[in-house]
Chain A
Amino acid sequence: MSGESLLLMLLSMVVIWGGLAAAITMLVRRPHHEHMPPGGEDDPPADD
């Protein structure tokens, strides 16, 4: 495999799979907003 192809493959992996890892990490660290407006009661659940 040429160096150029290898570099592009690694770059794609780092950016795309790294992007997924970063997005998951960010979500785990801050799963929800700490300062939401008051209210926001949910609708009654419908029967499945």
Chain B
Amino acid sequence: MSDAGARGAVEPPQAKREHWSGQTAFILAAVGSAVGLGNIWRFPAVAYENGGGAFVVPYLIALLTAGIPILFLENAIGHRFRGSAPLSMHRVHRHAEGVGWFQIGINFVIGLYYTAVIAWALSYFYFSFTLAYADDPQGFFLEDYLQLGTPGEVSVSFVPGVVIPLVIVWGIAIGTLALGLHKGVERLNIIGMPLLVATFLILVIRALMLPGAVDGVEALFTPDFSALSDPNVWIAAYGQIFFSLSLAYGVMITYASYRKRRSNITGPGLVVAFGNSSFELLAGIAVFAALGFFAHDQGTTVAELEGIAGPMLSFVTFPAVIAQMPGGWIFGALFFASLVLAGLTSLISLLQTMSAALQDKFGWNPRTSAVSLGVVSAVLSVAGFGTTSGLILLDTVDQWSNQLGIVAAAVGMIAAALWFGKRATELERHLAAVSPMRPGRYWHLLVSAVAVLLVYMFVTKAISLVKDGYEGYPTWYLVVFGWGTIAFLVAMGLVMPRFAWRDDLEHPHIWPSREQLRLPAEVGAPVTEEFDPAIYEVDPGDGHDAGPGARTEEDGR
């Protein structure tokens, strides 16, 4: 198999493609995708429960050996093969398109319930002005607000308090998506991300001034070095990095495909990875400072507190903290505004990834794609998560799509690109050709090693779910909505590749060509030539420039 355009043949007409307006826009959008609800309600608890201050050791090792290498892989695939996740994977290997559609299926499923959580946060932003949740936060959340039914129930009883904000969130999402990449997605992130960081900085400063805050921060950072000998702590660190960076959703493939060809890929990748972790650390300090205050107020310790992770942290524990705080409504409004902003920028990345795939497959424009996708999703989202059984459905679908689906998608992507597609050297040289910082020739070995760890994580999680079920929910319910989710993802991967791509995508223009990267024309053939990007150094005396496409992304800003 050889790639079109590889040997300087006459290039066919190029397909139209949207572009980021510049490097900064891409970085903000990618950080916006990575920084989501999990940074706020997952990282602090994972760190606290896995060695406290000592967790930073496995966390950083996981960032450097798994997070950044896989991020580079996704960026390289998207930037080189210039398409949505399914199209890029199709170009990586003709049988790998299904992996891309499996990822699109995950985005679809997660998008359905992610909007519900943003809708809850939007409601709580409104409730903060009257502190409506203050008297009995748990009762208010589960009974008054969600009107939660019993596990195993499939309710058709809609909750207006959830449905209305859910429709508003879908309206914002569809509108943003319909405006296209530049006017919609990019603008949302350019406004939303600085606003999110500024809001969170105010939250951190306020939280740190509360009595007991220092005790909370101390609880987070008190090291338990014995935890480092526990393999589960290391798996938790790799899991946190993996889930937090939005890896294997196909988002980073899609976002990188919108970069201009002559763009630095590894440099912005590092900024995105460290930017995500920086926000996590900030969130950890804010959350534990607030928990420290709450423990101090209740005359207990942070260790005794319950509900320090997930939706219970945000919608039960935090409202309880806010209720005890002087001027708590301001803190509450800022906290829930942060959740809405972090959620929206991540949600848009999921939807844009799906929209891009539909545009590539069927030739739809952004508006048609946004409205078709958005309306179908909104109806399913309201039907599933706007009812009294929404929270239990969310909990179930999240467990299967996130803990199994994403892990399987990552292994599939790595196997297709590196093991079966034999693109490791090509992608490494692609990154080296366009970026000042080379990933190094051992980069793909790290990625392959992580895939082995991911297989282990998948198998242990699958065995646990088969053997023990989940949260005591009825078996039939888990089969239908848990394993049914996996069946849907597999069906997406099998059925969607049967539809033809739009006509102008048949002959991709791949740059730099395999010849320019000193690779044999045939993919998979032994690589005999070394590659040094310095061979393209311009000799000031020879009158040559870098060619007609010599403008870099920075020139376009």
Contact = CB atoms under 8 A, between A and B. Distances in A.
A16 B278 contact: yes
Interface in B25-66: 52-54, 56, 60
Contacts of A36: 262, 433-434, 512, 533, 536, 546, 550
Contacts, number: 175
Given A2-B222, A23-B267, A23-B270, A33 B19 contact: no
Interface in B494-518: 509, 511-513, 516-517
B290 interface: no
A14 B182 CA distance: 35
Contacts of A45: 16-19
Given A12-B281, A30-B267, A46 B222 contact: no
Contacts of B274: 16, 19-20, 22-23
Nearest to A27: B267
A26 B270 contact: yes
Nearest to B532: A35
Contact of A38 (B260, B509, B547): B547
Interface residues of A, number: 40
B264 interface: yes
B512 A40 contact: yes
Contact of B536 (A1, A12, A31, A35): A35
Nearest to A48: B180
B277 interface: yes
B217 A40 contact: no
B311 interface: no
Given A5-B221, A26-B267, A26-B270, A31 B554 contact: yes
A5 B52 CA distance: 9
Contacts of A11: 53, 56
A48 B181 contact: yes
Nearest to B64: A19
B167 interface: no
B90 interface: no
Interface of A: 1-2, 4-9, 11-13, 15-17, 19-20, 22-24, 26-27, 30-48
What are the 4 closest A-B residue pairs judged by CB atoms, nearest first?
Answer: A8-B53, A48-B180, A38-B547, A41-B549
